[in-house]
Amino acid sequence: MEMHSNSITKTRIYWLILFRFVIVALCLIAHFFLDYGQKVNTLNIFVLTAALIINVLFLIVTPYVRHSWSLFAIVQIMTDLFIETILVYVTGGILSAFVILYFVSVLYAGLFVSLRVSIFCASFAITGISISVIIYYISILHSSYLPIFNIFPPISFPQENDLNFCRAYLFAQGISFYLIAFFSGRLTDIRYRERILHKEILEHLVDGVLVVDNKNCVNYINQRAKKMLGLSFSKNYSNDSILKLLNYDIHLNLLKGILMHRALEYQVTWEYANKKIPLRVDITPITINKAKASIVILKDISLQKRMEATIKVAERLSIVNETATMIAHEIRNPLASILGASQELQRKFSSEDSAKILFDIMVKESQRINSIVDDFLRFSKLRQPNFQICEVGNILEEVVLLLNQRDQYTQIQVQREEELLIKGDSGHLKQLFYNLGINSIEAQENQNSNLIEVMAKPCVFGDFCDTHRTLHGFHYEEETAGIQVSFCDKGKGIDPKLTTKIFKPFFTTKSGGSGIGLAIVQQILESHRAAYYVKSTLGKGTDFVVFFPVEN
């Protein structure tokens, strides 16, 4: 059991001193009443007066104690136990009425400090009273005065034949001391752990939390609030005036809400961490033990703002998409007529005729427009994936067969391991790999190399990612298992400045390209929660590498 140094405060120390004043005063009053009409026992009065003086000294010293409040409390409690032992010794040992003070010291050791300290105090108390009993017995056996104070044991003190009674009495007292120590200390430990738990929860909240009392002093502030208010993380701001901490120009509304002690909610943009961050400020007035206070919650709403902006963009894109799809459908009908008429007219001219050349161009461009419209419709109407367990290697083999039929001059080399299982849509994955393969084939046109390397293997995310690469898609823990698929060509490569743009719809670096292929690739990758990167060097080729997480 640890000592709860953080739970001991100056306020608790003052309460301990006040409590001791009350106890000593009651003892003095009780002593005068019990000894009324009899000879005053100056020794008892001296010990109690000494306790009073020592308590005054503790009161004087307290303002100068800056740290180690627990140690200061322990010193006071041990001093109390020592004085109580002297009182018990000079007032009859186990017959002394001051034995009850041991219980008080053990109790507030448990309540004010910790279980371990209260157990130690209980041990000290039972040791002190046991030593007193032993000294009393020795003095009775030898008919001598008690050592140090030269007083004779009282006649009523148990004699030699009452030894069993003394043993039972000491045993009962010891059990009582330890029970009080255990329960009071245990209660303190439970309350301490609750406070620590609540504090840890508040400290690790993503929101800033600030509590200000009715004197405008800070009762609590977590690290997040310090960051948002531009305060030092290491400094303790407890009991500091909120007026000194906040900037009037920046935090004027916050100060107004706290000083007026009223509920307030507003949004504001503050600059912290070298960025302008939108915040929502909630001020809630509360009353604790008839004392007013204000709880301030500072919430970073940048993610909310980004989500709202994304939703607005998505809504606009949805409208644009619907309109564009409708327009694309409308274009296809006249385009089909133009293409058909052009082909019909094309046949009526000989190959040497200049009109034939113009109609050839018209047919090719009409076919290209039709291809772009088809790609756009395929992109805008990509169906929802139907996830099932898929074997990546088999899908790659099927795609390679299709690619070989399309281009017989390109050599595609496949290296894969068996049983590469992921949860995905086989149709979408086939389209994904086919588009990547087509890109690699087209990148090698007019190049010396005609080799494309396709690889599929198991890996973990930590081996896949690299700080020198720009990762796209989803991120995972380093130990996350997955399947890595790569398409590597020795083509003309991509300008590094363009690698972040190639996934945008209608962006293309190829003459005659629609710019839809990689946009579809990105859609499929995101629906499969994949991570991916593009590594390209101009004139040397491009690697497109994908990581699919494996789900058990």
| Position with higher pLDDT, 28 vs 420 | 420
Q: 174 and 95, same structural domain?
A: yes
pLDDT at 245: 81
Q: 212 and 196, same structural domain?
A: no
| Position with higher pLDDT, 41 vs 244 | 244
pLDDT at 36: 46
pLDDT at 141: 65
Q: 155 and 272, same structural domain?
A: no
Is residue 457 pLDDT above 80, yes or no? Answer: yes
- Per the structure, how many domains does the chain have? 4
301-313: average pLDDT: 79
**Domain around 343:** 306-380
Q: 88 and 122, same structural domain?
A: yes
What percent of the chain lies above the pLDDT cut of 90? Answer: 6
Q: Report whether 113 contacts 73 (CB < 8 A).
A: yes
Is residue 546 pLDDT above 90, yes or no? Answer: yes
CATH number of the domain at 247, please.
Answer: 3.30.450.20
pLDDT at 513: 58
pLDDT at 123: 92
Instruction: Answer with the one of 167, 202, 237 that is the final residue of a domain.
Output: 202
Give the predicted TM-score (pTM) of the model: 0.43
Q: 340 and 270, same structural domain?
A: no
Q: 407 and 539, same structural domain?
A: yes
Q: 146 and 133, same structural domain?
A: yes
| Position with higher pLDDT, 447 vs 482 | 482
| Position with higher pLDDT, 169 vs 433 | 433
Burial of 285 (0-12, 13-18, 19+ CB in 10 A): middle
Instruction: Answer with the one of 272, 300, 328 that is the final residue of a domain.
Output: 300
* H/E element, 395: helix 392-406
CATH number of the domain at 497, please.
Answer: 3.30.565.10
Q: 127 and 106, same structural domain?
A: yes
Query: Among 157-166, 270-279, 357-366, 423-432, whose mean pLDDT is lowest?
Result: 157-166
Q: How does pLDDT run across 494-516, given as a tens digit for each residue?
A: 877 777 777 776 666 665 556 67
Q: 76 and 182, same structural domain?
A: yes
Q: 442 and 345, same structural domain?
A: no
pLDDT at 469: 67
Q: Report whether 326 contacts 318 (CB < 8 A).
A: no
Q: 184 and 159, same structural domain?
A: yes
Instruction: Answer with the one of 347, 380, 413 that is the final residue of a domain.
Output: 380
Burial of 234 (0-12, 13-18, 19+ CB in 10 A): exposed
3-state DSSP assignment of residue 283 = strand
Q: 405 and 438, same structural domain?
A: yes
Q: How does pLDDT run across 179-209, given as a tens digit for each residue?
A: 998 998 888 878 777 777 667 777 777 788 8
DSSP 83-117: HHHHHHHHTTGGG-GGGHHHHHHHHHHHHHT-HHH
